[in-house]
Amino acid sequence: MTTHTGGCQCGAIRFRAEGVLKDSSICHCRMCQKAFGAYYAPLVSVRGVEFHWTRGQPKRFQSSNHVKRGFCGDCGTPLTYEAPDGMAIAAGAFDDP
């Protein structure tokens, strides 16, 4: 079993994903640009993978009808893209991105 861990910049929020992460993407949509304060958002899908928040919980912002975005309420690190068909984690939030 492959284990991937990560968290936000301040450490208030930590997560663990167990399984093979194979679906990564770069999204250039306007909402990802705003959410990440960057030209694009690097994301890794955790669909079909055992995923747990191991410390804290992200705050969530509903950025459109279908999508919520999770971030650390203390340090502001972008953490998730949550759609009805699954969740993706900000690639840079992993300990080994």
Contact positions toward Zn ion, by CB under 5 A?
A: 8, 10, 12, 27, 29, 32, 72, 74-75
- The least distance separating Zn ion from the CB of residue 8, rounded to whole angstroms, comes to 3
In whole angstroms, how close is the CB of 96 to Zn ion at the nearest point?
18
Amino acid 20 reads V
Minimum CB distance to Zn ion smaller for 18 or for 74: 74
Give yes or no for a contact between 17 and 50, defined as CB atoms under 8 angstroms apart. Answer: yes
Q: Are 75 and 93 in contact (CB under 8 A)?
A: no
What gap in Å lies between CA 86 and CA 83, rounded to an integer? 5
**Closest separation in Å from C-beta 65 to Zn ion:** 14
Nearer to Zn ion, 18 or 25 (CB): 25
How far apart, in whole angstroms, are the C-alpha atoms of residue 27 and residue 17? 21
